[in-house]
């Protein structure tokens, strides 16, 4: 799932892509095994982008033509036009083992389904402009893109930054274990306008990038002869963006990196099928002051993360055990809500979470999925997907390393633990601000993601549309001079200092080169641009009607 990402000139495409899903039993809901993540404006994969870049049409169903019915007065029940497709799929649906439900239809039918589905299930259906007409939009996806609220948060951000679509087959492959075409590296934009500073944020094990000995912190100087730092113009911008996000396995590009201020020899990176390793750098840090601290990097709430998280917790319980935990979710856009629930359960004590709500889903006043109150409650899940009891650390506090890429289900871990009295300290940057989620819905080969619920914790708290801010004095910029998990890395060093002294300030003894600059707030917070829409979301399967 980790691949190089595109560049945005001004700021992170706010949860323009996201991730998430579900994979177990939640009350009576039937859930998908899916990949987690954040969301952004506009349907389809966001095109992240240096100024002047062209946009690539999102994956669509149909021939792109046709006209739709009129505005609000033309709304029909989605069930009456579901599966009526301009280009019906043939063959067997891998998820069900049965034939696809598609029948011969038109783009008008598909657009009618979209409008009906939004009116029935969208959390803010009453805020969708009523003057819009389907006939003004060429495809179901472009029509879907505008069917959302225009309201803003207290800070002035769009309230709904998370509307998107995905080609259904691509989505299925991603959610089954984090498999995608790429180099196996995430890039972060420290500065996204010339002179740009684009760095490798992390590298997946056993990936093309790892095979070239690339590591966090390497700065991209040149791609295919194009100056990444200083070039301007649409052609150059598109060339850079295209190389950073390869479209298919086998696509190759030549990169020149700078490491520790020294330009390296050019290397050719060829996109391959990359499988995400969601849990990395699991270690126990002996602080030397009477305590052992567990650390782990958690990037993806995908199905495969469950076993890795269980193994990590078991390793922390071995020997003398740990007294504190630093959970690094700075790049975790979210994911399966039940993965988040299980992680929160394993961090806390069973006596604290017993009988408590991890998250309650709040829907629109139509109760579109006909759920009882009990069915809207996600508990702190105490067993694995296979039904085995989960290990627990029994901690009363945890420190989470955060940033603008910490989104949705990751924020839910923080919110839910706070809801049952666990102290959660945040070190790093303000999170993305996404207390919302979806039930992904396929129609005619496109899977649609529209906000359908808000999540609140045991105390009914969930209003963090502008993100969760770090503890006072704990705003710490991402430190690309050190590897993740290195005790000298700025955010981890600050977290350890917070534990020992109650302050994120690092003493002179532990100050390392560049740390003073790294711990100061930045005008432009580094971010991972153009992430997949599956990288910043809560996604759970459509429940069975009561």
Q: Is the pLDDT of residue 269 over 50?
A: yes
Q: Give the tokens for residue 520.
A: 């100061």
H or E segment to which residue 416 belongs? helix 409-419
Together in a domain, 198 and 56: no
Within-domain flag for 93: yes
- Closest alpha carbon to 68 in 10, 106, 111, 34: 111
Match 């963006």 to its residue by tokens. 241
Domain at 204, CATH number: 2.30.42.10
pLDDT (0 to 100) of residue 41: 27
Contact 494, 476 (CB under 8 A): yes
pLDDT (0 to 100) of residue 514: 34
Within-domain flag for 13: no
pLDDT (0 to 100) of residue 177: 56
Q: What is the number of domains present in the chain?
A: 3
Helix ranges (DSSP H) in 128-269: 140-146, 168-175, 208-211, 234-244
CA 430 to CA 425: how far, in whole Å?
12
DSSP annotation of 86 reads S
Together in a domain, 173 and 27: yes
CA 255 to chain centre: 27
Together in a domain, 152 and 229: no
CA 432 to CA 522: how far, in whole Å?
16
CA 216 to CA 205: how far, in whole Å?
12
pLDDT (0 to 100) of residue 171: 84
- Per-residue pLDDT tens over the stretch 340-387: 999 999 999 999 999 999 999 999 999 999 999 999 999 999 999 999
pLDDT (0 to 100) of residue 290: 65
How many residues make up the chain in this entry? 546
Q: Is the pLDDT of residue 436 over 80?
A: yes
Within-domain flag for 450: no
Share of the chain above pLDDT 90, in %: 68
Average pLDDT over residues 524-545: 43
Within-domain flag for 15: no
287-302 core/surface letters (b: 16 or more CB in 10 A; e: else): eeeeebbbbbbbbbbb
Q: Compute the mean pLDDT over every residue in the chain, rounded to the nearest whole number.
A: 81
Match 């690339």 to its residue by tokens. 214
pLDDT (0 to 100) of residue 422: 98
Together in a domain, 332 and 357: yes
DSSP annotation of 79 reads G
- Per-residue pLDDT tens over the stretch 115-157: 999 999 999 999 999 999 999 999 999 999 999 999 999 999 9
Q: CA neighbours within 13 Å on the CB side: how many for 34?
A: 37
Together in a domain, 220 and 149: no
The band of 31, judged by pLDDT with boundaries at 50, 70 and 90, is: very low
Q: Which domain holds residue 481?
A: 279-361+369-432+457-518
- Per-residue pLDDT tens over the stretch 273-324: 988 899 999 999 998 776 899 999 999 898 899 999 999 999 999 876 899 9
**Longest Cα separation, the chain:** 71
Together in a domain, 347 and 317: yes
Together in a domain, 298 and 403: yes
pLDDT (0 to 100) of residue 180: 73
The band of 107, judged by pLDDT with boundaries at 50, 70 and 90, is: very high
Together in a domain, 230 and 298: no
The band of 17, judged by pLDDT with boundaries at 50, 70 and 90, is: very low
Together in a domain, 164 and 186: no
Comparing 160-174, 204-218, 479-493, which segment has the lowest mean pLDDT? 160-174
Q: How far separated are the first and last CA of the chain, in Å rounded?
A: 35
pLDDT (0 to 100) of residue 287: 87
| Listed residues 242, 275, 308: the one ending a domain | 275
- Per-residue pLDDT tens over the stretch 455-494: 999 999 999 999 999 999 999 999 999 999 999 999 999 9
What's the pTM value of the predicted model, to 2 decimals?
0.77
């Amino acid at each position: 799932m980790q691949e190089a990402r595109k560049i945005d000139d001004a700021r992170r495409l706010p949860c323009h892509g996201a991730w998430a899903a579900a994979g177990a039993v939640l009350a009576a809901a039937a859930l998908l095994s899916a990949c987690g993540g954040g969301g952004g404006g506009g349907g389809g994969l966001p095109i992240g982008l240096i100024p002047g870049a062209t946009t690539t049409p999102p994956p669509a169903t149909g021939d792109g033509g046709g006209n739709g019915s009129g505005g609000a007065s033309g709304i029909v029940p989605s069930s009456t036009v579901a599966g009526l497709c301009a280009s019906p799929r043939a063959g067997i649906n891998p998820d069900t083992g049965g034939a696809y439900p598609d029948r011969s239809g038109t783009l008008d039918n598909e657009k009618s389904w979209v409008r009906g589905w939004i009116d029935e299930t969208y959390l803010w259906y009453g805020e969708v402009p009523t003057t819009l007409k389907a006939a003004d939009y060429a495809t179901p996806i472009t029509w879907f893109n505008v069917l959302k609220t225009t309201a803003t948060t207290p800070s002035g951000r769009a309230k709904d930054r998370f509307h998107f679509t995905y080609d259904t087959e691509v989505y299925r492959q991603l959610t089954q274990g984090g498999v995608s075409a790429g180099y196996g590296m995430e890039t972060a934009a420290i500065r996204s306008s010339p002179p740009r500073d684009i760095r490798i944020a992390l590298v997946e094990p056993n990936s093309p990038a790892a095979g070239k000995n690339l590591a966090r912190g390497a700065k991209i100087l040149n791609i295919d002869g194009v100056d990444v730092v200083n070039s301007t113009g649409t052609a150059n911008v598109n060339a850079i963006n295209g190389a950073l996000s390869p479209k298919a396995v086998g696509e190759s590009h030549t990169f020149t990196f700078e490491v520790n201020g020294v330009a390296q020899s050019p290397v050719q990176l060829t996109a391959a099928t990359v499988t995400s390793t969601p849990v990395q750098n699991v270690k126990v840090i002996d602080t030397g002051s009477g305590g052992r601290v567990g650390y782990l990097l958690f990037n993806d709430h995908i199905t495969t993360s469950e076993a890795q998280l269980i193994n990590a917790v078991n390793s922390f319980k071995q020997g003398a055990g740990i007294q504190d935990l630093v959970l690094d979710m700075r790049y975790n856009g979210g994911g399966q809500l039940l993965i988040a629930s299980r992680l929160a359960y394993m961090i806390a004590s069973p006596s604290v979470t017993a009988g408590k709500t991890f998250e309650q889903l709040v829907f629109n006043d139509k109760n579109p999925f006909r759920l009882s109150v009990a069915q809207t409650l996600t508990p702190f899940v105490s067993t694995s997907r296979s039904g085995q009891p989960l290990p627990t650390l029994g901690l009363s506090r945890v420190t989470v390393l955060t940033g603008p890429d910490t989104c949705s289900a990751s924020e839910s871990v923080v919110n839910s633990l706070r809801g049952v009295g666990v102290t959660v300290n945040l070190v790093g940057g303000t999170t993305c601000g996404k207390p919302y989620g979806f039930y992904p819905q396929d129609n005619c080969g496109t899977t649609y993601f529209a906000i359908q619920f808000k999540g609140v914790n045991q105390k009914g708290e969930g209003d963090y549309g502008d993100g969760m801010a770090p503890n006072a004095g704990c705003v710490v910029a991402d430190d690309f001079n050190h590897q993740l998990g290195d005790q000298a890395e700025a955010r981890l060093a600050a977290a350890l200092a917070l534990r020992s002294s109650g302050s994120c300030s690092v003493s002179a003894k532990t100050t390392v080169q560049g740390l003073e600059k790294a711990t100061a707030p930045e005008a432009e917070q580094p971010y991972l641009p153009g992430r997949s829409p599956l990288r910043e979301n809560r996604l759970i399967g459509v429940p069975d009607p009561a």
